[in-house]
Amino acid sequence: MTFTAQQNSFMREAIRLSEENVRSSNGGPFGVVIVKDGVIISTGVNEVTRHNDPTAHAEINAIRAACRVLGTFSLEGCEIYSSCEPCPMCLGAIYWARPSALFFANTQQDAAAIQFDDQFIYQEIARSHADRRLPTYQMLRDEALQAFRLWKDDETKLAY
C-alpha cells in the first residue's frame, strides 16, 4: 500500500504529538489526529495519569473531541490516524464511532515491549469468561432482560 503525501503528513502529526506528550511529561507516548474532508478536526494524546482516568487514551480523547466539534455521536466519513495500533478499548470505541478508515504506526507488540497491556488485553478478550485473568461472573439475567424489552418496545427511542 502506498500512502499520499497528505496521509503521511497526518500520521506525522500524530507521531509528533506522541513524542511531545512524553517530552512534556503529560502522559504515555501516544498521539492521534482525526481528519474529515482533508482537514484535522481533533487531536488526542494519552492523559491517563494526568487526569486520573484510565479511559483517557489518545484515541478516546480524540474521538470525544471530534464528536464535540461535529455535534454528533458518529464519525462517519472521518479518518483516524493513531501513532500506535489501538488497544481493544480504543478499537471498540472506533467501531462505535464508525469512521471510514483507521491508520496506525506502532503495533500492539511494540506497546507490549514498553510495558503497556494492549497485547495482554487482546489475548484476554479472546478467552472465555472462565479462562480470563479477571474473575467474571454472570447473574440475574432474567431480571435484567426487562430493560431490554422496555428498549425494544420504546417507539420514541433514539437508536444508534
Cα 121 from chain centroid (whole Å): 14
- List, as own/partner pairs, every contact residues 18-25 make where C-beta atoms lie below 8 angstroms and the sequence separation is at least 24, other chains included: 18/45, 18/58, 18/83, 18/84, 20/45, 21/45, 21/46, 21/58
Q: Does 122 bind its own copies (CB under 8 A)?
A: yes
Annotated catalytic residue, options 13, 19, 47, 59? 59
CA nearest to 122, candidates 109, 113, 135: 109
* Residue 124 designated active-site: no
In the bound state with its own copies, the residue whose beta carbon lies nearer, of 23 and 39, is 23
Amino acid type, 71: G
The CA-CA-CA angle for residues 83, 71, 85, to 5°, reads: 15
Q: In angstroms, give the least distance from the CB of 80 to its own copies.
A: 9
Helix (H) / strand (E) element for 8: namely helix 5-23
Identified binder of its own copies from the candidate list 99, 119, 127, 131, rule CB under 8 A:
99
Q: Does 90 bind its own copies (CB under 8 A)?
A: yes
Alpha-carbon distances of 83 from 8, 56, 71, rounded to whole Å: 12, 15, 25
Q: In angstroms, give the least distance from the CB of 31 to its own copies.
A: 8
Contact pattern for its own copies over residues 31 through 60, marking x by CB under 8 A:
x----------------xx--xxxx----x
Q: Does 100 bind its own copies (CB under 8 A)?
A: yes
Q: Does 78 bind its own copies (CB under 8 A)?
A: no
Q: In angstroms, give the least distance from the CB of 104 to its own copies.
A: 6
Q: In angstroms, give the least distance from the CB of 122 to its own copies.
A: 7
Helix (H) / strand (E) element for 157: namely none
Total residues contacting its own copies by CB under 8 A comes to 92
Q: Does 138 bind its own copies (CB under 8 A)?
A: yes
The catalytic residues are 59
